[in-house]
Structure formats: C-alpha cells, structure tokens
Structure 1
Amino acid sequence: MKRILLLSLLAVTLFFSCKKDKDEAFPTLSMQVTEKTLTVQVNTQKSFSVVIPNGKTITSEWKLNNTVVGSEASYVFKPTSAGDYTLTYTGSNAQGSFTFTYQINVPVPVIDPGANSSMYISKVFEYLPAPGQHINMPSLGSLEQAQKLVGSTNNLVSLGGFGGYVIFGFDHSVKNNEGYDLGVYGNPTGPNNASAEHGIVMVSQDKNGNGLPDDEWFELAGSEYAKTTTIKNYEITYTNPKAFVDVPWTDNQGNTGVVKNLSKNKNHYPLFAANQDKITFKGTLLPSTSLSTSGLIINKPFEWGYTDSYSVGDDYQNKGYNSFDISWAVDNNGNKVVLKTIDFVKVYSAQNINAGILGEISTDIKGAVDLHIKALK
C-alpha cells in the first residue's frame, strides 16, 4: 500500500512539474542592434548581441549566409570582402525559439580621385610575359622596363606570346561612367596593311581592401567574345629550353608548337619568371587574323574591344589608343557584371600566332589612362 501511494505521489509530482514547464512562457529576447538593414565597411568590426532576461537559459546560434559562425549570446562581424551578407540569430529552449535576421551590405572600397590625381598608371603590380623575341631585352621585355609604364604612355613593353601579361593600377578607383572609361596605348600599324597584336583587357575591384590585385577578374568582352572562333578557358604551357633556341609549347587543345628564336642571341623564356622550368597561362584565345599579301605578313585588326589593334570601330586612327568600357565586363561564365568602379587592370596577349620571319604575335603596351580625368593631367 505504501509503495502504491509513493508511486502515485511521484506521478502527480511529475505531472504538475511537466505542466509547469509546458505552461511557462518563452522569455522575451531583444537584440542590441535593432536595425535590420545595415552597412558595414570592409575590415571593420560590428558587434551584435542578444539581451536575455536574468535566470533564463537560452541556446544561441548565429548563421552567416546559412553557415553557423557562433554559439554565444554575442557575435562580432568583420567582413574581409565586399558583398551582401545575411546574419541570422536564433535563440531557443524547451519553451520555444526566437529569430532575428540582419541584411548587411559591405560596399566595395572606393578611392575617389582628388585634385592631384593622375590620369596615368601609378603602379605596376606584376609583369610576367610569355616567351617572345623581345623578352629579356632591357628596353622591351624586362621588369625595369615594365615599371616605366608608370606616369607615361611613351615606353614600350612587350608581353610575349599568348598569355603574357602586365597588371597595373591608378592612384584612384576608375569610375564606370557613360561611354568609354579606359584608354590603353599600344603600337599597331595602319591603316593601310594594318597589323595588330591583340591584347585582352581585364579589370578587378579591390573587394578585400588590401590594395593588391588578388580579387576576382572580369574580362572586358570585345567584338569577338561571343563568336564560335574564340576559345574560352584556353591554356598553354611553355617549357624553358635553357638555351638560345626555340621555346616549345603545348596547349589544352591537343596542339604543340614553338616560339621561334630567330636571333639565337638570347633565351626567349622570361628569365625573371618564378618557375624556370615551365610556365602555364590561361585565358581567352582569339582567332588568328594573320595573312600574307604581296609578300607582306600582316595581322588584321578586330573591330573593337582589344588593345594594340588599329581598330576601325574604335577609331584608333584619330585617338591613338584603344578605348574600353567597364560596362563590357563579364565573369568566367560569360555573365554580365555590373561594376561601379574598378581598381586594377590586366592586359594579356590573346593570340597564339607564329608570324614566320616576324616571330610571334605579341601584344605591346605603352601605358593607360583614366579617360574621365583628362583635365587633371
């Protein structure tokens, strides 16, 4: 009888205890930051926290773009790159749950031009040419010559065969205004028997705010971008012969060939490249426009959208440079990208052509300008 009474008492106690827990209301939680839409700058901290009533036990969870990033009552958001972020807090216990969501915009850092801003290149970040007849020549294919692009449009630098490139920037962010935004100088010939050595221009934003060109690149799609004769995701690998001979190459299309060493007086492989065995370049391969007429080898220009090209559609004859609109930018999948500003520019040789006695087709560059601040020379 005592055992029955004890069991009955225990059951009643458990019943009322469970009923009390069930009937107890979920505590009222509030957020320290009440605005649901915020702007936070790159590499700056923004603290978020939940206010929990005394004596209440809450399990906390923070998710950033659906990834769990915290389990405390507070969270410090410090974005390392521009973009749009969704930060969600969820607090829960046996009585229920509470959710609060923030939409955070982290804008791309922008350096506005000032009264003393230059229209010319202010810094060359990297120069890595592909093998070519002018590479390793102090006056055309050296690291020292590449640095002479700063503040000038008069010093010629060769980028070598396909893929060879130079990366540079200005002392401010270049704005994507109406019309052309950038001018790039080369040395094409024309208009009669015009000869071009086409280079593709790419642009990038300093989304992580570190002042270095280590963010995503976007191609400025020219007149040939969407044509079936243009090969996307082209790769070519050059092998250093370590001698004054032809430089062999292979590509991802199953082709092989050489960069001709006609002078036999130096190695055409860039001797300042980090890898002195082989080097691989990737990019968009433009079709050959090379032909021979009356014994003269020429390389015909495309209509617009490429540098070192005597383009009719670009009116090179009157301007003396090739013009580029940041609005032409596309991502790796060919999708249009809206960029309000850019901070870095990359120019690379975009054809793989052996021009016989003229050697390889290699893009040359003499400088670049921000077309929106011509008056601030």
Structure 2
Amino acid sequence: MQIKKLLWLTVILAAFFSCKKDENGPDDVTIALSFEKDTVIGLNASVTITAIPSGNAQITHQWKVNDSIYATTAALVFRAPGAGVYMITYTGKIAERSYTHFLKVTVAPRIRPVTGSSSRFINKIFTYAPAPGQFINESAGTADGAATIIGGRSGLVSLGAYGGYIVFGFDHSVVNKAGADLALYGNPLPAPRAWSEPGIVMVSQDINENGLPDDPWYELAGSEYSKPAVTIRNYRIVYYNPKATAGVTWKDNQGRNGAVEINAAHNHSYYPSFAANQDSLVFEGTLLPSTFTLQDGIYVNQPFAWGYADNYATDAQKDPYATNTYNAFDLSWAVNEDGNPVVLPAIDFVKVYTGQNEKGYNIMGEVSTEISGASDLNMK
C-alpha cells in the first residue's frame, strides 16, 4: 500500500511540472492602480487614476464613484461636482478573475491664503439688510454706514431690531486654528449701566468657490444655544411698514405681536427706505432670551457669558471682552441646522444678526446689534 501511494504521488508531480505557463498569459497578469493612497484635491481640480496590468490580457474595466458607475475605461478622470468625500471602487476582470481596489478622494474647497498684501480686517460687505430701528435711515443705518466697517474698527453700523443682519468677508480665508479665530468689535457697556445688544454670528466656507456667500451657513453656538427653555430656534418675525413716522408693528411665529417704537431722539421712519420690499420684511433665525431689566433704578440690557457680538461677555476664559475690547469667536463652535458640531477647516464669509427681540425703552430705544469692525485673530 505504501508503494502504491508513492507511485501515484510521482505520477501527479510529473504531470504538474510538465505543464508550462505562459509568463505573459492571463494567469500571470495582475492589475495595480497608478496610485492607491487616499488623496485630497481641490474643488475645480481633477484626478486621473490608471489601471496598470502587469502583462498582456483582455481586461474589462469598471470604475464606480459612491456606488454609481462612472467609467469603463482603463483610466478614470474624475472631477467632483462639489466638495465632499468620494469613494472610488475599481474592478478589473480578466476572464473569470476580478481585481478590486478602493480609493477615497476628498474634495476640499480652496483655502485662500494670506499674502503680503492681506489685511486682517473686513475687505467687503456682501449684504446689509437691517430690520427696522432707531438708527436706520441715519448714517449708521445705511449702505454707506455699513461700508465704514471695512478696513478697520472705527466705523459703525446698526443692524436694527431682531433679525437685521450684515454679511461680510475678508481678502483671504480665516483658518480654523486652536483657540479664538475671529474678532468682532462693537460698543457694549459694562455694569452698572450694562448695555449689551447681543448679535448671533454665523459663518460659511466658499464651498463652490464662486466668491459669493451662497453656501451653507453654520451658527457659532454661544452660551445660550443649548438652553431650549429660553432660546428659540427657527424663530420667524414679520415687520410691517407703517409708511409714516410711526412704530413699526410686527408678528412672530410664536403667536406674539408688538412694535419697534419711535423715540424722541430719533423721530423719523424706522423702516429701511432702501429695502427692496417696502411693505414687509421677514427675518428668521435663533431668538435669544431678553435680558432687559430695571436694576437699581436704571434700565439695563445684561450681557451673555460668551459667544455673541456687541456683548460685554462675562466668561473671561472663552470671551475676555473686558481685556480684549472685542468679542472672540472660535470657529470650532460651529453647528449645523440640527445643532450638530461641524468641522470647518476655514471660513470665507461671516453673517451677524440681532439676536434679541426687545423694544427697550424710550431713551435707549430698541436692542439692535451694532458692529464697528471684524478681524482675523490669526493675523497680527
């Protein structure tokens, strides 16, 4: 029996080694990619990936991008339709055998670098859309007034009552680094005559690289953001033009109504005369709770701890306003519309809007965020 087993093994081995393989035949061909490491490209750039066989063979190629067939050629030229992460799967078939490779391509919008001529201050106003207010239609409440905050910190613009906003940008991208990245200058007052007019700050990156603020916006979540008992998200208000020197009435989506009242120091129309719609204005966003109160015989509007413009912040760690004389913002505070944190490598646009709906009193008037400038804290 042992002899028979040895004879059969000899026959099998002889048959095996007598079969010659073609060194260039399909059995010896493998497929590699021109590069196989995950890569990052710019939004308007393309990446070319080529399937490279180790020999001659009839190969069927298939490239998938996020599970959709993109090409059936040996080379893939991929240009992304937008920023994001794209999973590329290559499958090459030789007869009945398949070779599969996976590659991740991250498409990131371009970060505009700081150059020798860059300024740390605002260089452009994209939109100025104030709500009604006592300074509107005066010098600080016009498009010319808004332009005064470009290039420095000595101008002044009023955003009017709740929702009124301004959108501006810099001549470079503001990069998200460790700590505070953005400074906003206003004119809040400390105690005992505390008068803050907190503005909510939103930021956006130029994802489509068209130079316009038409990309997703993210709120920089301040100290009041996660307090649903007092802070209202998805707030909406409509102001109605009285078309006279009279209080501007409003209604909101909380079933409330009121008016931005005329005061003697600013006896003129409070509805913006330059607004495209001269019948009504609509604003939406997050509504901060009122901090207006009578304290020791003085009407005051108290500040929040941190995270708002024109706010004499009380948290010396996150926003040391008393030391800096500006409000400091960390781009890492950004959240999406669902309240989830987002990671922004850099931002190109900033939006600030009045966050409280408070008519105040007849001397100080309504609470209306005021901005005198902004700067990139990563630049000295």
Report the TM-score, using the length of structure 2 for normalisation: 0.81
Q: What is the aligned partner in structure 1 of residue 329 from structure 2? A: 324
Q: Percent identity?
A: 47
Q: Equivalent residues in 2 for 1:211-290 (5 A)?
A: 211-227=211-227, 228-262=229-263, 265-290=267-292
Q: Secondary structure of 1:318's match?
A: helix
Does 2:369 correspond to 1:363?
Answer: yes
Does 2:72 correspond to 1:66?
Answer: no
Runs of 5+ consecutive residues of structure 1 not aligned to the other structure: 1-24
The number of residue pairs the alignment matches comes to 349
CA distance in structure 2 between the partners assigned to 1:297 and 1:272 by the alignment: 32
Q: Equivalent residues in 2 for 1:306-325 (5 A)?
A: 306-313=308-315, 314-325=319-330
Q: Post-superposition shift, 1:267? A: 3.0
Q: Secondary structure of 2:42's match?
A: coil
CA distance in structure 2 between the partners assigned to 1:260 and 1:290 by the alignment: 16
8 A contact 1:156–1:366 mirrored in 2 = yes
CA distance in structure 1 between the partners assigned to 2:114 and 2:237 by the alignment: 38
Q: What is the aligned partner in structure 1 of residue 167 from structure 2? A: 167
Q: Between 221-230 and 47-56, report the one with greater CA deviation.
A: 47-56
Partner amino acid for 2:371? I
Partner amino acid for 1:361? V
Does 2:353 correspond to 1:352?
Answer: no
- Residues 266-323 of structure 1: CA distance to partner in whole angstroms, max 9, x if unpaired? 4322232333333222211110000123543210111111111122323323321111
8 A contact 1:308–1:322 mirrored in 2 = yes
Partner amino acid for 1:359? G
CA distance in structure 2 between the partners assigned to 1:49 and 1:168 by the alignment: 43
Q: Secondary structure of 2:323's match?
A: helix
Kindly report the root-mean-square deviation, in angstroms, between the aligned alpha carbons of the 2 structures. Answer: 3.0
8 A contact 2:122–2:169 mirrored in 1 = yes
Q: What is the aligned partner in structure 2 of residue 142 from structure 1? A: 142
Does 2:195 correspond to 1:195?
Answer: yes
Q: Between 288-297 and 61-70, report the one with greater CA deviation.
A: 61-70
8 A contact 1:82–1:208 mirrored in 2 = yes
CA distance in structure 2 between the partners assigned to 1:271 and 1:93 by the alignment: 72
CA distance in structure 1 between the partners assigned to 2:253 and 2:94 by the alignment: 57
Report the TM-score, using the length of structure 1 for normalisation: 0.82
Q: Post-superposition shift, 1:27? A: 12
- Residues 56-103 of structure 1: CA distance to partner in whole angstroms, max 9, x if unpaired? 695x76543234555677654222433211123456799676644321
Q: Equivalent residues in 2 for 1:79-158 (5 A)?
A: 79-90=80-91, 99-137=100-138, 139-158=139-158
Does 2:372 correspond to 1:340?
Answer: no
Q: Post-superposition shift, 1:257? A: 1.8
Runs of 5+ consecutive residues of structure 2 not aligned to the other structure: 1-25
